[in-house]
Amino acid sequence: MEVDEVEGCLLAQFGSMQTLDHDDLISQMLRLVGGSSLTTEAATFYLEMNQWNVQAAVCAYFDLEAGPEARLGPPKMTFVKDVTIGEGESVPPATRFTKTWAVTNPGAERWPEGCVLVFSSGLQMAEVGRIGVRSLAPGEQADVSVDMTSPAAPGIYESKWRMSTSSGLFFGDTIWVIITVEVAGTLALTQQMDKFHVLDQSNANHRNSDNRPQSNPFGLKSPLPPPANEDAMN
């Protein structure tokens, strides 16, 4: 039976599905798809991707049944920690900052090529809504960064992001940044201090051939030598 025919046969069964319980929706999708290789995990993935709409999730599954995501199951991504910008950290208005998350691939398969981090909801504080992410091997951890600019008006703002395959399938944890915009925000200062620390470390590691640090052009000049003894001059 063709995919379109299968979907058509299932449409009549969706009308009676009024439950909002996620476990029930997963069971319904597994029952509707029937004797396929769809797992509970994959059913959950398709339902989450389609806001727990069973009809849309089943259609998405059949549309991608021949693709690698349907055969192997969705990739996995777990949020590890906030590397920069803790939850609710204060930021001055209209200030550029970099938000960095540490994420890992807890699955048994390498991520497919072309994965991107995509803005999903909240306030879009980044200039772009998609950031390319390299393919992570099983168990591998990496930092993912997005350059953002805080709003001009004081307040509390949230921006949510999700990992996606190149074909637009979301997977893994939702990650977010929450900032408090206030004039007295310290974010710009702390990130600038971090940059100076990195620069200072770089300078400390850069030596002359005689293992002496490079001279600081802004430092105090060496004092002039004392005048020669007048008696010796006579």
**All domains of the chain in start order, with CATH:** 3-72 (no CATH), 78-187 (2.60.40.10)
For the chain, which residues score pLDDT lower than 70? Answer: 1-20, 34-37, 63-73, 187-234
Collapsed DSSP state (helix, strand, coil) of residue 208:
coil
What integer pLDDT is reported at residue 218 of this predicted model? 35
Q: Give the helix/strand (H/E) hosting 204.
A: helix 187-205
Place of tokens 């995509």: 118
What integer pLDDT is reported at residue 185 of this predicted model? 77
pTM for this model (two decimals): 0.56
Residue 109 pairs in a beta bridge with: none
Output the DSSP codes for 48-64. HHTTT-HHHHHHHHHHT
Sheet holding 155-164, edge to edge: 89-91, 170-181, 155-164, 116-122, 130-132
40-49 vs 22-33: helix crossing angle, rounded to 10: 110
Q: Which two tokens stand for residue 11?
A: 């449409």
Q: Give the helix/strand (H/E) hosting 192.
A: helix 187-205
Q: Which of 33, 37, 40 is closest to 55 using CA atoms? A: 33
What integer pLDDT is reported at residue 43 of this predicted model? 84
Place of tokens 């709003």: 151
What integer pLDDT is reported at residue 227 of this predicted model? 53
What integer pLDDT is reported at residue 68 of this predicted model? 52
Maximum CA pair distance of the chain? 117
